[in-house]
């Protein structure tokens, strides 16, 4: 796959979620197979997902760096997935992949989600909130 095809796939994926109010998506091609993506997704409840990836798609989709940070409308952390190598001392099974839940300090091991996985998780959260609030 070429990096421009990967950018297009992500852009198309963002268009499929009805929970999205609006989004920005910026991509920068580094080479035929490498690139950087940064974006912001605003949801119907005014929560926001900030995301970024540095990706190499030459053989498979390898995200050398990623962060998906989901915040309330008052800028409180709901969760963040990332692969920053700063939690080595915690002996997480999937190091460096981890998730911060509710606060910077609450760190748990996780697999490496992709943008669609994160959007589906947010969709589930928002659907539960709507069901509870109804």
Task: Transcribe 83-102 into DSSP letters.
Answer: --S--GGG--TTTT-EEEES
Q: Which residue(s) pair with 54 in the sheet?
A: 36, 65
Q: Under 8 Å CB-to-CB from 115, ≥6 apart: which residues?
A: 10, 13, 14, 51, 53, 68
**Confidence at residue 92, expressed as pLDDT on a 0 to 100 scale:** 66
Domain boundaries, the chain: 3-133
Tens of pLDDT, residue by residue over 13-32, are 999 999 999 999 999 999 99
Quick one: CA dihedral 117, 13, 47, 62, positive or negative? positive
DSSP class of residue 58?
S
CB 53 within 8 A of CB 37: yes
DSSP class of residue 3?
H
Tens of pLDDT, residue by residue over 100-128, are 998 878 888 888 899 999 999 999 999 88
**Confidence at residue 130, expressed as pLDDT on a 0 to 100 scale:** 57
Tens of pLDDT, residue by residue over 34-77, are 999 999 999 999 999 999 999 999 999 999 999 999 999 999 99
């Amino acid at each position: 796959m070429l990096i421009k095809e990967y950018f297009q796939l992500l852009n198309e994926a963002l268009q499929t979620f009805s929970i999205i109010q609006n989004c920005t998506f910026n991509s920068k091609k580094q080479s035929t197979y490498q690139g950087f993506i940064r974006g912001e997704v605003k949801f119907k409840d005014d929560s926001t997902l900030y995301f970024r990836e540095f990706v190499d798609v030459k053989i498979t989709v390898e995200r050398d760096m990623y962060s998906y940070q989901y915040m309330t409308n008052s800028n409180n952390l709901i969760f963040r997935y990332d692969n920053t190598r700063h939690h080595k001392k915690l002996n997480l099974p999937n190091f460096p992949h981890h998730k911060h839940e509710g606060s910077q300090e609450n760190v748990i091991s996780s697999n490496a989600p992709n943008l669609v996985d994160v959007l589906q998780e947010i969709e589930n959260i928002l659907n539960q909130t709507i069901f509870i609030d109804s």
